[in-house]
Copies of this chain bind each other. A is one copy, B any other.
Amino acid sequence: MTEPAPRLTPLAEALPSSVPFVAPEMTERETGNKFLARLGANESSFGPSPMVKQAIEDACKDIFKYPDPQSFDLKTALSDLHAVPPENIVVGEGIDGLLANLCRLLIGPDDVAVTSLGAYPTFNFHVAGFGGKLETVPYVNDHEDPDALIAKARETNAKLIYIANPDNPMGTHHSADVMQRMIDNIPEGCLLILDEAYIELAPNNTAPPLDVTNKNVIRFRTFSKAYGMAGARIGYGITHSALIKSFDKIRNHFGVSVISQRAALAATLDQTYLSKIQTAVAKGRDRITQIAEQNDLKTIPSATNFVAIDCGADGDFARRVLTSLTELGIFVRMPFVAPQDRCIRISVGIPEDIEIFATALPTALKIARD
C-alpha cells in the first residue's frame, strides 16, 4: 500500500470532525429507544401543504433527469411572491448550504465574522471551516443586539455579520424599524446576513422591506420551518444580483433535487395553507405557554414555531430537565450559552406531540429537582 496518507490542507488538517447538531436519529440509535415526540429541531410536524405531496408524486416521473440548475420555475414563483426579480434570488441546499457557500465566497484565513454568542452554530461551523475568526457579542435580555453587532463589526473590520430575526434559539424578535436601522448602519465593505428562517411565523412588521439594490445585505429564507419541509433541504437567498452571480462561481449547480424544487414550488404557491399553519403555530405557542405556567414556569415571548421555557434556575438545572425529557422519550434542545441556557426550547408540533410533552414535563422537573 502506498503511504503516506493524502495531504489535507493545513486548515482541513486542523479542523475537528464535528457535527453542528446531534440528530434525534443518532440519539435513538445510541439509546435504542425511539422518541415519542420530536420537539427539538423546530420542524413542523403539521407537515407541508397537501399540494406538496401531490407535486412530489408528480415529480417521480422526472427523477431520472438532472435538476434545473437555475431553479427557474421556483425562482419565478418566489419572484412573484416577494416582488423581486429572479436574478436577485439564489436557491440552495437549505440555508445551511447557502451559508457554506457564502462563507466560502467571503471568508479566508483570519477574516472576521461577527455573530451573537450562542446563536446558530452552523454559521460558526462554516466560518471556522474556511479559516475565519469569529467575534461575538452577548445577547441582551434574550434578544440579539443589533447595535453591538454593528459596533463589533466596525471595530474588527468584519466581512460578515450574522443575525437571525426572529432569533433562534430564544424566539425573540426585533421590529422592522430596528432591523432597518441596523441595515442602514452596516459598516463599509461588510455584508449583513439576515437569517429570516422563521419570518413567516413572526408578527407583521418584523421584516424590513426587501431592497435588492443594497449590496450589503443578504436575506435567507427556508422551506424547513413554516412550510414544513425540513427534509427537502431547500432554502433561498435574496440579495443584489452581483452577489447572486458570485454563487455561480462555486456552488454545486446541480445540488438541489428535482423533487425538492417541485415541492418548494408547490409550497410557495399555496399561501392559503401557510395562513393555516400560522394560526396553528400561534395556538401551539399559547398551549406551550399554558403548560409552562401550569408548572410555575415562565416562557420567552416567541415570534417563531418554538417557545423557550425558562426553567427557573441555571443551565445545569435546565440540562437536567432536558436529560429527563430525553429519557421520557421527548426530543428537545436548549440554548448553548448562559444565561440563555436556563431555558429549554420546545418546537410547536401537532397537538398530540405537545400533549405528550405536557404529560412528561412535571415528571422531568421533579427528577431534575431531586
Minimum C-beta distance from A109 to chain B (A):
9
User: Would A70 and B23 count as touching, CB distance under 8 A?
Assistant: yes
Contact B53–A4 (Cβ < 8 Å): no
Known contacts A252-B100, A253-B21, A6 near B61 by CB under 8 Å:
no
**A231-B257, A257-B259 known; A105-B9 Cβ under 8 A:** yes
Interface residues of A (CB under 8 A from B): 1-12, 15-21, 23, 25-26, 29, 38, 41, 43-48, 52-53, 56-57, 59-70, 72, 93-94, 96-97, 100, 104-108, 111, 129, 159, 184-191, 211, 213-216, 224, 228-233, 240, 242-243, 245-246, 248-250, 252-260, 263
- Which of B159, B186, B246 sits near A2, CB closer than 8 Å? B186
Q: Assuming the A-B contacts A6-B190, A8-B106, A250-B129, are A70 and B231 also in contact, with contact meaning beta carbons closer than 8 angstroms in the complex?
A: no
9 A/B residue pairs, CB under 8 Å, sorted by A: A1-B211, A4-B189, A6-B190, A23-B254, A41-B65, A48-B63, A94-B254, A94-B255, A129-B249
Q: Give chain B nearest CB distance to A103 CB in angstroms.
A: 10
Per the bound structure, the CA–CA distance linking A4 and B216 in Å amounts to 8
Q: Least Cβ distance of A16 to chain B in Å?
A: 7
User: In the assembly, how many copies of this chain are there?
Assistant: 2
What separation, in Å, do the CA atoms of A259 and B70 have in the docked complex?
21
Query: Which of A6, A66, A258 counts the most chain B CB atoms within 10 A?
Result: A6
The residues of B that contact A252 with a CB separation of less than 8 Å are: 93-94, 96-97, 100
CA distance A20 to B56 in the complex (A): 27
Q: Which residues of B contact A258 (CB under 8 A)?
A: 231-232
Q: Which B residues are in CB contact (< 8 Å) with A62?
A: 231
